[in-house]
Amino acid sequence: MRGVAMNKPEDLIAYLEQNKKMLMVYALKNDVSISEFSSGQIKMTTSEKVSNDFLLNLQHVLTEATGQKWQIEILRGPLGETIADREQAADAANKKNVSDLPLVKAILAEFKGAKIETLIRKINEENQEDLDSFDEPETYFDEDL
């Protein structure tokens, strides 16, 4: 047994992605809302799209990865917020924050109809502190270029 730590749903998603179990990743992100995730136990609500063998496969993967038996409890009721919903909300908030920057506002105003589709942040440890502050425009571009 491997003994991989699974303390939160994101740990499970990362493990599944590393092991190329993309159908399970998709189902966990889009068709499941997890209300409790602790060592050896998950409580979730599933949509009708989740296949019958999903829970057995999930339990097998968790046991294989962590070396312990997992209890998965299915709750009844509406689906609730999924991981995909949280990711989309975070992405929208990041785009909103970036679109509020003066330079980005000017670019969007110049190019009518333009919008931010993808946001990729490249952060290294040296300039992490500079990027946390939006007050210094020199942290976003180098005028010497």
pLDDT tens digits, one per residue of 10-30: 999 999 999 999 999 999 999
User: Which pLDDT score is estimated for 140?
Assistant: 46
Query: Using CB atoms within 10 A of its CB, is residue 53 exposed (0-12), middle (13-18) or buried (19+)?
Result: exposed
CA distance 103 to 28: 38
Can you tell me the mean pLDDT for 37-54? 88
CA distance 139 to 121: 13
Confidence at 131, pLDDT banded by 50, 70, 90: low
User: Which pLDDT score is estimated for 130?
Assistant: 52
What size, in residues, is the chain?
145
Of the chain, the end-to-end C-alpha distance in Å amounts to 53
| CATH 3.30.1340 intervals, the chain | 9-74
CA distance 104 to 111: 11
User: Which pLDDT score is estimated for 3?
Assistant: 74
- Beta bridge pairs of residue 38: 41
CA distance 145 to 140: 12
Confidence at 2, pLDDT banded by 50, 70, 90: low
Can you tell me the mean pLDDT for 57-76? 90
pTM confidence score: 0.61
> What kind of architecture, by CATH, is found in domain 9-74?
2-Layer Sandwich (3.30)
- Average pLDDT of the chain, as a whole number: 80
